[in-house]
Amino acid sequence: MTDELQAELAKRRVHCLIAYLEPFRIVEAEALTPWQVSIEDVNTLSWDYVKLHEIVGGIDVGLPAPFNLVVTRDGALALPPIKELQADHASVEFFNRCLAGFLIGGVYCEAISSDSLDLGSVIDWKYVRSHKSGLAAPNRFHQQIRFCKASALEAILLMDPRTVQFSSLVDAMKTGLSVMDQITRLRGDILLKGVTGIARRDWSAGLSNLWIVIEQLVSHIWNDTIIKQAEAASASKARRDQLGDTRTWTVAVKLELLHQLGHVNASALQELSAARKARNDLAHEGRTPSEASALNAFNGVRHLAKAIMPQKHIPLFDLDLADHAISDPFAPRRLTGEPKYWMAIPKLPGEEELERLESSAVHQFRSDERAR
């Protein structure tokens, strides 16, 4: 192989790491034809799979030039396999930091794990192709819709899907990175995991991760308002060390003092105290926290972020998490409108007879009610 051919091939196929926006959504842009799939396309497996691979653009996520986060129409996110990202924990952490950037900027995302990684390549800087798919459900879904092998039950998501404008992703990332750059102690990936826990109704994961974020935010405020003030006043090293002693200045004590100084109001202190007690009960007694406790932690993060950046609008706190959360399986089902499409469900042995008996019993009950 000649050097010229090798260089040409290297330009046409560039290896990459891939994760996906979750929940699934189509990424739109003004220069692209809007995504559209019909029920016939779903039933005949004939949607335009090429468009799903199509690159929409690149987003600056703080990597050294010329590297960016590449985004495709089906929400695939591609990163270069640079040395710093060649361990699974490092690539997962960085992807989650990028997803946290979107989340803080107002685009709801959920955390990924090691089984959410694909290995693939950028082809001609037009498409992103996955070669080795992760085992997580979103990865399998994207693999099947990209190969036009998804079942109708899965492919129906291609019809009228959630969408997001690429420009919205760019703006969200700018906002998210600006927040994380200003609050240097904030781990965006842990914030993302905490919010994901709330959306998944995993109150333990939500509270545990968000409490870590709370401690990071409290530490940031403490350092800026107490320790730096002591340094500015030329306090002795002994006093500065004492102020930084976490055994003396526990989070509870810090919160009380920050409340007295006006950085945390009474409502925020109450919610943070409730979250702290629930977190301690979980850590020391194994007591599962309630939904209210997890939401107290989330509200505590909101109050502390506002205390740090009073003039900064953080779109994360405008999101209605209930719009993205899984529903309570024990809550009554809410039907919105009439079904547009339906399919026959294969019957189990005896099931059809049982349904007829149940229908007859309901009919008899209604007849008896009318007779009364």
pLDDT beyond 70 at 335: no
pLDDT at 126: 95
Residue that wins the pLDDT comparison between 212 and 239 = 212
Domain locations in the chain as residue ranges: 11-182, 188-321
Amino acid residing at 364: Q
- Please state the rounded mean pLDDT for residues 100-115: 96
pLDDT beyond 80 at 82: yes
- Please state the rounded mean pLDDT for residues 212-240: 82
Tokens found for residue 309: 């950046």
pLDDT in tens, 361-370: 988 888 888 8
- Please state the rounded mean pLDDT for residues 126-140: 95
pLDDT at 247: 75
pLDDT in tens, 23-45: 999 999 998 999 999 999 999 99
Choose the weakest-confidence range: 85-99, 112-126, 287-301, 329-343: 329-343
Q: For all residues of the chain together, what is the average pLDDT?
A: 91
CB 113 within 8 A of CB 134: no
Binning pLDDT at 50, 70 and 90, where does residue 321 land?
Answer: confident
Strand ranges across the sheet with 127-132: 55-59, 69-72, 76-79, 13-20, 118-123, 127-132
The answer for residues whose C-beta is within 8 angstroms of residue 199's C-beta and 6 or more apart is: 108, 110, 321, 324, 325, 326
pLDDT at 323: 80
Residue that wins the pLDDT comparison between 340 and 112 = 112
Choose the weakest-confidence range: 4-8, 59-63, 105-109, 284-288: 4-8
pLDDT beyond 70 at 1: no
Residue that wins the pLDDT comparison between 3 and 40 = 40
Cα(219)–Cα(162) distance, integer angstroms: 38
Taking the CA atoms of 122, 13, 112 and 331 in sequence, report the sign of the dihedral they define: positive
pTM for this predicted structure: 0.90
Cα(192)–Cα(54) distance, integer angstroms: 27
pLDDT beyond 70 at 75: yes
